[in-house]
Chains A and B, each alone.
Chain A
Amino acid sequence: MAQTTDKILIKGRVIDAKDKLPVIGATISEQDADKRTVSAIATDLDGNFALKISNPAHSLVISIISYKTQTLPIGTRRQFNISLASTTNDLTEVVIKARTQSGNGTGMNIDKRDLTVSNFTLNAADVETLQATTIDQAVQGRLPGVDIVSNSGDPGAGMSIKIRGTSSLNASSNPLIVVDGVPFNTSVPSGFNFATANNTEYADLLAIAPSDIKDISVLKDAAATAVWGSKAANGVLIINTKRGAVGPPTISYTFKGSATQQPGFIPMLTGDQYTTFIPEMVMNVTGAPINTFSFKEFENDPYDVYYYKNYSQNTDWIKAISRTGNNFDNNISVSGGGEKARYFASVGYDSQLGTTIGTGLNRLNTRLNLDYVVSEKIRFSASVAYTHSNTLFDYSSKNDGSGSDNVRSIAAIKMPNASIYEYNEFGLLTNAYLSPAQGAQGQYPAVFNPVAMANAAQNSKLGDRITPHFNINYTISPSFVATTDIQFDINNSKQTRFLPQIATGRPFTETTVNNGAIADADTYSVTTKTNLIFNPNLGEKHSLQTLLSLQSEDDKSLTVGQSVTNTASSSLTDPSAPGRTLSGNLTSDIGQSRDVAAVFTAQYKYLDRYIIAVAAREEGSSVFGSNYRYGLFPSISGRYRLSAEPFMHKLSGWLDDLSLRGSYGVSGSTPDDQYLYYSIYNATGTYLGINGLQPSNIQLNNLRWERVHGLGAGISTVMFKGRLSLDLDYYHNRTVDLLNKNLDIAGYNGFVTLLNNNVGTLQNTGFELNIFSTPYKSKDLNIDFNFNIANNINKLLSISPYYKTTDGDVTQNGKYLHVLQLGNPLGSIYGYKFKGVYKDANATIARDAGGKQILAPDGTPLYMRFNYPQNSYVFQPGDAMYEDINHDGNINAQDVVYLGNGNPKFTGGFGPTFTYKGKFVLSMFLNYRIGGDAINMTKMNTTNESTFNNQSTAVLRRWRNSGDITDIPRALYKTGYNWLGSDRYVEDATYLRLRSVTARYNFPKQMAAKLHAKSMNAYITVENLLTFTHYTGQDPEVGQTSGIFGQVEDNSVTPPLKQYTLGLSITF
């Protein structure tokens, strides 16, 4: 014990082994047996040092960047003259030897070449040139078997990600996202919905600056995802962020600036065309001219100055609410570190101006990743990410500005003869919006002045999210490591909305006028993970890696909302302003869910040829009742490296690797609602002054885990020294106990839905092919070509008897029939066959199968009818003609046939990259979907000729006179059956899109050096430049509506924007 008080002084000098010059700033440290630093000092200008040490049994460590570290025993030696060898050569060697490692996020890293499951990793460099605000946009089309479809082109809108088809009916088919080894919450508790609904939430959650990302991996096989158990049924996306490395500070600055442009909307009627079309539509029904006392908009009387001026315009409403958007993204990061501590810090600021007036996004991202090496055995790291965002939406009934009453949808239907600004009774243009309380088209929310709404109404969301993540890593022995992670996630958002009187024109007695609302949603979650990794050394031939992991998650959410109506002025937008408040304007909701799991995984390799991996996860979740609270998710997978067999050695000249893979695993899914196993009684309003209570739900005692049983097989080959690599995978996933949210139940049960239920079995099978190649390689020019293709077939294997097998009412306009048939894929579309238009009265005579007229008993011909006898409609000349499949002279449900399916046959992407002299890089990326039908609802709504909504110019060729031969039926105001769900609107949504083209120039080192920079490059990217398709709607990239009857419906949301991006990145 005496040594601790008696300090021993040791002296010395450090020189370069080669040129014998002194090494300045080298760290001299005293380390104990556990490699903990006891004391340390740096060498001076002459390379000299002097250090007091506490124990001669310790060792002296001399280290500095770019030199080899030396460790010397102290013992009795008091003078050290040390020559350090430079390590520059070693470094390059290491880079060549290093193999890509890949993790499943749990903490066990496997050589990529030894993976037993299908896994695909995308490096950040591949996507950093894209003007993507979120990662999901960046990976779109680049990962095989991952189908990503944008929900809308508005800033802040989310995307739906599907890995290997729909395996779940849950509202969210999005994969689990694991950031730096810890699951990142993307599914939001149901309590959240009222405040910050839907997809936008998802986009926020992925708000990691793309420039902070090191790599993204996708786990698809159930065997790979089983370790994540629940929530992993839809696959896992693993994201690793950049961390500091030993070296001097490196400062990187990236800039991306882009202009965005809204693709053109389908041509709509002008005001003049519209004002002739509408009276004809009304007259076709009533036989009399339109009543211009009721509909003064069509009066067209120059002596009624007010109406004449206000309703004789040619307004392009879509144009009036559109603008050229822009996007500026600045990101600066600094990284570096020494032996002990390493850091990576970044700050980014992204500002977007949406192409629809009133939309935009401002976001600040910061991240700090710190690693500290306490000793050789203990490492500690901390990461803190903070995001502040302000998203501006247009006002609509939904919080994210979507829905049928969103500004763009209304602009599409708004009467084009109306003026944007009001003319007064003297015919003079004022600067007030023309917002009548009610017009021919109805009143708010069915229709309003979109320009007034976009400019005057407010809807914005402030978000703050901070995620501190701490990790401690203890190497107990070289083969035994323990790590603990704890991550906090605090995500607060505040939505502020205000609907002023001028946007709707409604009178002050209504609650929609001057309606202000605030909703605050806070979530707080704690995720922990404790790993024990044991990798015993079993000699050359065997290798074994094992992992035991204990994980927990606790999510809390709190939402509070307040609203006020009829504030005294449009300037009083806050709900604190006094208004004519009504009851029920204050809401709050609290939710909590917990999840615990234990995971064991092991991977064993023999002779570099035979690899087998097993895993098991036992998980408990608070969302299930005690009957089915725990789930077990086992998996097994193997890889056989054929190329390593002795008999294959003669092929080793060109064959680097040939392996067969196989896997089986189970992963699961939980409902995203809580407390489902309780019957909950909620307070109602009062009756006779007494508060009432009503049961609000059906208690679910039998809700179980949804499980995906996945079988996978694959071949991996690498040939020609890595110039061609090819992965082919086949999978067979069977989802049992499919969870279905809000299952409709028969009305006599009193409740409308079961909040959630296990309803059936669904099967997804498919293959994926992924090719990386370098077809040409010379000293100056390098051509790489990547290609991926995937196919997925889903099939319904069983369905609960409580589930309705048909949905949709084909006796109403605009409705398709949805039928569930066992053995058939989901997403099938059924409807009538559209055969054109009855050209004259003769054509409407009913005919039998032989083409002969069907006669009434009295010998007169019968005419085609619709849904007789419930309905009395007889088809008239100019009406839509539907194929009378059974030739009974009556168009009804029996004439409904299969029209198509929304599932694409193939999806994928491909693209070449040309690199010239390492300086010029030109890369292109194209993605495609082959097959798959979409219902063009926009076409339906713009040619239905049934309401006062504006129509597309296609209606100009409508049937008007007997004998007209056309494909557009006559206009019929609110009557007739001219727009029944038929193949008229079902279109093939095959497309090939030039997703991005990037030209990049890496400045030569000398040029960069003039700016004191290490490297510098600039690039231009154009996104969504060209789309090749026969689809007639705005954009063929249409997502599927959720639920088991979900279909691909195109409702004319903002399509993907054309973006022109200029980027610059400099590293100092």
Chain B
Amino acid sequence: MFKKSIYQISLLALLMVSASSCNKYLELKPQNGIIKENFWQTKEQLQSAVIGCYYSLEVNNTSGSSKSPAELFYLWGELRADFIAAGPGIASGEQDIMNTNILPSNAIVNWQPIYRTINYCNFVIDFGPDVINKDKTLTQAQLNAYLGEALALRALMYFYLVRSYGDVPLKLHSTSTDEGLQQLAKSTQADVLKQIVADLKTAEGYCVPSYPTVAADKGRINKFTVDAILADVDLWMDNYADAITACDKVINSGKYALVPGDINSWFTTLYANGNSNEGIFELQFDGGTPNPYFNMFSPTVSKYRFKSDPNIIDNFYTSDLINVNNVDIRGFDVAIHAADQSIYKYVAYGPNSLRTADVSYAHWIFYRYADVLLMKAEACAYSNRGTETLDIINQIRTRAHALPTSASSPDANDQNGLADYILAERAREFADEGKRWYDLLRIAKRNNFAKQQVLITAAAESVQPLYQQSAFSKLQDHNFLYFPVPLNDIQLDPNLVQNPFYK
């Protein structure tokens, strides 16, 4: 009997012990990767999270289905414009956009890669401030600098979104748990721009003026990067005075200058090597993460996807019929290689020297000094400071050895003529740098679409003849100038309303 009760007691004890230790037993932590409970503890972790934001611009999703932001910046900025033509390996989705057959299901109009970076920035903005309580070696200034980078990068991403989609959902908090999942509606372009300006103003105060190394100074966002973005945003919003102020901050910093227009060294310094005096914000690729541009542009790849529109020399750079050696340095072997019309900016070291796949790390230049100068020129043109505009244009043209045949001479008070000149000069200067469509659209929409004609002219150059008539009529609809909401998001979120043109 006694024996039996021992059994019973020990069994009962065993049950109780196992019940209480159950929770501990079932609490398993992953052994690869850091869990949130152990993250956001040190300033090093904070830095690595910020670096993760930049890195996300360079690569596509691990699932591999979507494109990297670095590729999208190019596709969004150039596919709808007139500087490029289809290469032998053009994808049908790319060809569709060039022909203005844009469908919500087209993978190129999927905004997820941009929101992925926004989400990473949101993680830093949400969880970063608490690190200062955990890591006493982190100063408020250092924390602010990191937050400034995240805020500015988020603002830049939203700026790409509003320019491409018009109204977009505004997500300002990280998607960290399933409880934080929302079904958002779109915010108006004006609201998003307001948020962008607010974030940039904060970031301007937070960011450091410069980083210790040249690479970091160009590759990460500093105070003047924020000013450059702010200038671009102000110009998009037609806030000319603010744009000039922002541009002047960059110009007066004395940090930047134009790379001298020496035909032998100019290309190498500015594009092939990168991080030149002129660069303000350049996405830095390296051997571990090569850029996505090799397969897009390199004529050594038999199925390269894009080449230059064959008419850009005639239409933009012009040529000197008497002295063939007298050329605009931005044309041949930069924007177009005469033999095969290939685009050299991202895949060459110089006129006769192409990169190979393993060293394809030409930078993606978000902003450079020439851009800031021309932005100021544009703002001046609409602020009755036309003379300054012409001075700046001439400064850019002199550097580039632009031919007299590509010059025009609008009156300093002729806003319309100045705008055309700026648009043409920007086209020459920033060929294939992902700016052309946004330039066209910005100029076209200004003053209630006063210059809508520039879009039609561009379409006449780039759209295949079969689709031209429908393209011209589509471009009359202002909603068509923005991408549709991606099909996936329309299907998943009942609160999202499709752009009326694509309904």
**Complex Cα gap A583–B492 (Å):** 36
CB distance from B263 to the nearest CB of A (A): 31
User: Which residues from chain B contact A654 at a C-beta distance below 8 Å?
Assistant: none
Given A594-B25, A688-B216; A802-B120 close (CB under 8 Å): no
CB distance from A512 to the nearest CB of B (A): 12
Contact with B36, one of A594, A699, A757 (Cβ below 8 angstroms):
A699
Q: Does B195 contact A (CB under 8 A)?
A: no
Q: B95-125 CB contact bits vs A (8 Å, 1 = yes)? A: 0000001110100001110011011101100
User: Which residues from chain B contact A695 at a C-beta distance below 8 Å?
Assistant: 36, 120, 123, 174, 176
Q: Is the CB of A687 within 8 A of B119?
A: no
Q: Is the CB of B22 within 8 A of A685?
A: no
Q: Which residues of chain A in 854-886 are interfacial with respect to chain B, using CB atoms and an 8 Å cutoff?
A: 869-872
**Complex Cα gap A686–B59 (Å):** 11
Q: Is the CB of B23 within 8 A of A686?
A: no
Contact with A686, one of B216, B286, B474 (Cβ below 8 angstroms):
B286
Q: Is the CB of B28 within 8 A of A687?
A: no
CB distance from B67 to the nearest CB of A (A): 12
Q: Does B6 contact A (CB under 8 A)?
A: no
CB distance from B69 to the nearest CB of A (A): 12
Q: Does A1 contact B (CB under 8 A)?
A: no
Given A622-B28, A629-B26, A744-B492; A692-B52 close (CB under 8 Å): yes
Q: Is the CB of B178 within 8 A of A809?
A: no
**Complex Cα gap A749–B493 (Å):** 11
Q: Is the CB of B183 within 8 A of A747?
A: no
Q: Does B467 contact A (CB under 8 A)?
A: yes
Q: Does B47 contact A (CB under 8 A)?
A: yes
Name A755's closest neighbour in chain B (CB-CB). Answer: B178
User: Which residues from chain A contact B110 at a C-beta distance below 8 Å?
Assistant: 747
Q: Is the CB of A752 within 8 A of B63?
A: yes
User: Which residues from chain A contact B467 at a C-beta distance below 8 Å?
Assistant: 872
**Complex Cα gap A693–B119 (Å):** 13
User: Which residues from chain B contact A688 at a C-beta distance below 8 Å?
Assistant: 51, 54, 213, 215-216, 219-220, 284
Q: How large is the interface on B (under 10, 10 to 19, 20 to 34, 35 or more residues)?
A: 35 or more
Q: Does B494 contact A (CB under 8 A)?
A: yes
Q: Which residues of chain B in 377-416 are interfacial with respect to chain A, using CB atoms and an 8 Å cutoff?
A: none
**Complex Cα gap A811–B96 (Å):** 13
Q: Which residues of chain A in 751-810 are interfacial with respect to chain B, using CB atoms and an 8 Å cutoff?
A: 751-752, 754, 757, 801-807, 809
CB distance from B478 to the nearest CB of A (A): 15
Contact with A693, one of B23, B48, B102, B178 (Cβ below 8 angstroms):
B48
Name B95's closest neighbour in chain A (CB-CB). Answer: A974
**Complex Cα gap A685–B57 (Å):** 12
User: Which residues from chain B contact A596 at a C-beta distance below 8 Å?
Assistant: 18, 22, 25-26
**Complex Cα gap A583–B287 (Å):** 9
Contact with A622, one of B27, B37, B176, B466 (Cβ below 8 angstroms):
B27
CB distance from A750 to the nearest CB of B (A): 2
Q: Which residues of chain A in 798-845 are interfacial with respect to chain B, using CB atoms and an 8 Å cutoff?
A: 801-807, 809, 811-812
User: Which residues from chain B contact A696 at a C-beta distance below 8 Å?
Assistant: 33
Complex interface: stretch among A45-53, A584-592, A643-651, A1005-1013: A584-592
Q: B360-381 CB contact bits vs A (8 Å, 1 = yes)? A: 0000000000000000000000
Q: Is the CB of B32 within 8 A of A748?
A: no
Q: A701-738 CB contact bits vs B (8 Å, 1 = yes)? A: 11100000000000000000000000000000000000
Q: Is the CB of B112 within 8 A of A812?
A: no
Q: Does B30 contact A (CB under 8 A)?
A: yes
CB distance from A581 to the nearest CB of B (A): 11
**Complex Cα gap A176–B34 (Å):** 33
**Complex Cα gap A757–B488 (Å):** 18
Q: Is the CB of A750 within 8 A of B115?
A: yes
Contact with B176, one of A589, A595, A698, A703 (Cβ below 8 angstroms):
A698
Q: Is the CB of A748 within 8 A of B63?
A: no
Q: Is the CB of B31 within 8 A of A747?
A: no
Q: Does A675 contact B (CB under 8 A)?
A: yes
Q: How large is the interface on A (under 10, 10 to 19, 20 to 34, 35 or more residues)?
A: 35 or more
**Complex Cα gap A180–B179 (Å):** 43
**Complex Cα gap A812–B487 (Å):** 13
**Complex Cα gap A687–B52 (Å):** 8
Q: Is the CB of A698 within 8 A of B181?
A: yes
User: Which residues from chain A contact B487 at a C-beta distance below 8 Å?
Assistant: 809
Q: B138-171 CB contact bits vs A (8 Å, 1 = yes)? A: 0000000000000000000000000000001101
User: Which residues from chain B contact A691 at a C-beta distance below 8 Å?
Assistant: 48, 51
User: Which residues from chain B contact A621 at a C-beta distance below 8 Å?
Assistant: 26
**Complex Cα gap A802–B488 (Å):** 12
Q: Does A125 contact B (CB under 8 A)?
A: no
Q: Is the CB of B63 within 8 A of A698?
A: no
User: Which residues from chain A contact B49 at a C-beta distance below 8 Å?
Assistant: 681, 692-694
Name A588's closest neighbour in chain B (CB-CB). Answer: B32
CB distance from B86 to the nearest CB of A (A): 13
CB distance from B153 to the nearest CB of A (A): 12
Given A620-B22, A687-B55; A746-B116 close (CB under 8 Å): no
Q: Is the CB of A750 within 8 A of B219?
A: no
Q: Is the CB of B181 within 8 A of A745?
A: yes
**Complex Cα gap A807–B35 (Å):** 34
**Complex Cα gap A1030–B280 (Å):** 68
**Complex Cα gap A545–B39 (Å):** 53
Name B112's closest neighbour in chain A (CB-CB). Answer: A747
Q: Is the CB of B177 within 8 A of A679?
A: yes
Given A509-B357, A629-B23, A748-B171; A702-B52 close (CB under 8 Å): no
Q: Does B457 contact A (CB under 8 A)?
A: no
User: Which residues from chain A contact B183 at a C-beta distance below 8 Å?
Assistant: 746, 801-802
CB distance from B17 to the nearest CB of A (A): 12
Q: Does A109 contact B (CB under 8 A)?
A: no
Name B284's closest neighbour in chain A (CB-CB). Answer: A688
Q: Is the CB of B22 within 8 A of A804?
A: no
**Complex Cα gap A690–B286 (Å):** 12
CB distance from A295 to the nearest CB of B (A): 12
Q: Does A849 contact B (CB under 8 A)?
A: no
Q: Is the CB of A684 within 8 A of B102?
A: no
Name A624's closest neighbour in chain B (CB-CB). Answer: B26
User: Which residues from chain B contact A438 at a C-beta distance below 8 Å?
Assistant: 302-303
CB distance from B59 to the nearest CB of A (A): 7
**Complex Cα gap A424–B303 (Å):** 26
User: Which residues from chain B contact A749 at a C-beta distance below 8 Å?
Assistant: 115, 119, 171, 175, 181
**Complex Cα gap A698–B492 (Å):** 17
Contact with B111, one of A687, A690, A747 (Cβ below 8 angstroms):
A747
Q: Is the CB of B30 within 8 A of A751?
A: no
Given A592-B28, A688-B220, A870-B102; A748-B489 close (CB under 8 Å): yes
**Complex Cα gap A470–B491 (Å):** 53
**Complex Cα gap A757–B23 (Å):** 22
User: Which residues from chain B contact A745 at a C-beta distance below 8 Å?
Assistant: 181, 492
Q: Is the CB of A872 within 8 A of B101?
A: yes
Q: Is the CB of B105 within 8 A of A679?
A: no
Q: Which residues of chain B in 410-463 are interfacial with respect to chain A, using CB atoms and an 8 Å cutoff?
A: none
Which of A583, A593, A596, A698 has the most chain B CB atoms inside 10 A of its CB? A698
Q: Does B273 contact A (CB under 8 A)?
A: no
Contact with A746, one of B215, B474, B493 (Cβ below 8 angstroms):
B493
Q: Does A678 contact B (CB under 8 A)?
A: yes
Given contacts A681-B49, A701-B177, 19 further A-B contacts (CB under 8 A): A678-B35, A679-B39, A680-B33, A681-B33, A684-B52, A685-B58, A685-B59, A687-B51, A687-B284, A692-B53, A693-B39, A699-B177, A700-B177, A746-B183, A747-B111, A754-B181, A804-B492, A812-B105, A871-B101
18 residue pairs from A and B, CB less than 8 Å apart: A509-B356, A620-B22, A626-B23, A674-B28, A679-B36, A679-B177, A684-B55, A692-B48, A693-B51, A694-B55, A699-B177, A700-B177, A749-B171, A749-B181, A750-B120, A751-B116, A811-B103, A872-B101
The 9 closest A-B pairs by CB, nearest first: A750-B119, A747-B112, A692-B52, A692-B51, A679-B36, A804-B491, A680-B33, A694-B52, A675-B30
Q: List residues of A whose CB falls within 8 A of some B CB.
A: 438, 443, 509-510, 550, 580, 583, 588-596, 620-622, 626, 629, 674-675, 678-696, 698-703, 744-752, 754, 757, 801-807, 809, 811-812, 869-872, 974
